[in-house]
Amino acid sequence: MKKALSIMLVVILLASGLFILTGCENGGKKFEGVEISKTYGKATYKITVPKNDDGTPKFNFTEEKPEKAAVRGSFYLETDNAVFTFGTSGLVYNTSKVYKEKYGEKEASFDGYVEWVHDEKSGIKLKGWEELEINGRKAVRYYSLEGSSGDYTYFGYNYRVSLDGIMPKSGLDLGVYYKTDEELKEPKELDEETLAILNTLSISLAEEEEWRAVTRIR
C-alpha cells in the first residue's frame, strides 16, 4: 500500500511539474521545474530550471557570454544567483613526459585524469578539490580563484565532468560562478537553488543527424 502511494505521489509531482531537487548536503529546494536542452558537439545537455507562471523556462541556455562569467565557454546558463559556463576539452594529462615515464603509453580517461591529479609527480594542486557525482556521472570540483597564497579572490567552482559514452577522452569543463559584485576573500558554498539546478544536469550522446546539423549551422 505504501509503495502504491509513493508511486502515485511521484506521478502527481511529475504531472504538475513540481520537482524536489536535492543540492548536495544542503538539502533540497522546491520549485516549479521545466527541462531545457542544448545540443553542442556530440552531446545533448539537459537541465531543469524554475518555470514562469505561463510554463516557460525562467532561464535558458545562451551562447552570449554573461557579464559575471569568470571564463569564456561554448554556451552559458544565467540564473538569479549564478552563471554556468559550458565547454569541453581533451584529457591530455597522459601526454606529459613525467606521466609517460611513470605510466607508459596509456589512453586518456576520466579515471586516469583523477588518478594523475592525486599523483605527487603531477605537481597539480587544486584548492578545494572534491570528487563527486552529478546525476550519476563522475565529476570533480575545485575553487575558481585568482591571487597568491593568503590573498585569493573566489569566483565560484570549476567542475570537470566525465563524458564517458560520448567523448571518453574529453571532459565537460563546467564553471559555476557566484553572481555578486562582492569581492569574496573566502570560499562559500553555492546556494540551494543553484545546487539543485546543477544536480539535474544530464548529458547524453546526441543523435548523429542532430549534431551534424548543429555543426553545419556554425
pLDDT in tens, 192-210: 999 999 999 999 999 875 5
pLDDT of the residue at 20 = 40
Neighbours of 93 (CB within 10 A): 20
In the chain, the number of structural domains is: 1
In this structure, what C-alpha cell is assigned to residue 82? 549564478
- The residue type found at 43 is A
2 versus 143: the higher-pLDDT residue is: 143
Assigned C-alpha cell, 13 = 509531482
CB atoms within 10 A of CB 117: 17
Higher pLDDT, 31 or 145: 145
Q: What is the mean pLDDT of residues 109-125?
A: 96
Q: Where are the beta strands (DSSP E) in the chain?
A: 18-22, 28-40, 43-50, 61-62, 75-78, 82-90, 130-134, 137-148, 151-162, 170-178, 202-205
Q: In the prediction, which pLDDT does 25 show?
A: 38
CB 167 within 8 A of CB 41: yes
Average pLDDT, the chain: 85
Residues ≥6 apart with Cβ < 8 Å to 24:
132, 189, 195, 199
Say if residue 21 is exposed, middle or buried (CB neighbours under 10 Å; 0-12, 13-18, 19+).
buried
What per-residue confidence (pLDDT) applies to 15? 40
- Measured on CA atoms in the order 176, 179, 184, 188, is the torsion positive or negative? negative
Contact (Cβ atoms closer than 8 angstroms) between residue 25 and residue 46 = no
What tens digit of pLDDT does each residue of 162-189 get?
999 999 999 999 999 999 999 999 999 9
Length of the chain, please?
Answer: 218
Position 14 scores a pLDDT of 37
CA distance 45 to 24: 20
pLDDT band of residue 30 (cuts 50, 70, 90) is: low
Classify residue 25 by its DSSP letter: G
Give the mean model confidence (pLDDT) for residues 84-97.
96
Confidence of residue 18 (pLDDT cuts 50, 70, 90): very low
As a whole number of angstroms, the distance between CA 24 and CA 38 comes to: 24
Cα dist. 8→5, 11, 13, 48, 200 in Å? Answer: 5, 5, 9, 22, 22
Q: How far, in Å, CA of 11 to CA of 6, rounded?
A: 9
The average pLDDT across 95-122 equals 96
CB within 8 A of 118, min separation 6: which ones?
A: none
Q: How confident is the model at residue 150 (pLDDT cuts 50, 70, 90)?
A: confident
User: Could you give the 3-state DSSP secondary structure of residue 196?
Assistant: helix
197 vs 2, residue with greater confidence: 197
The whole-angstrom separation of Cα 38 and Cα 21 is 20
Domain that holds residue 112: 2-217
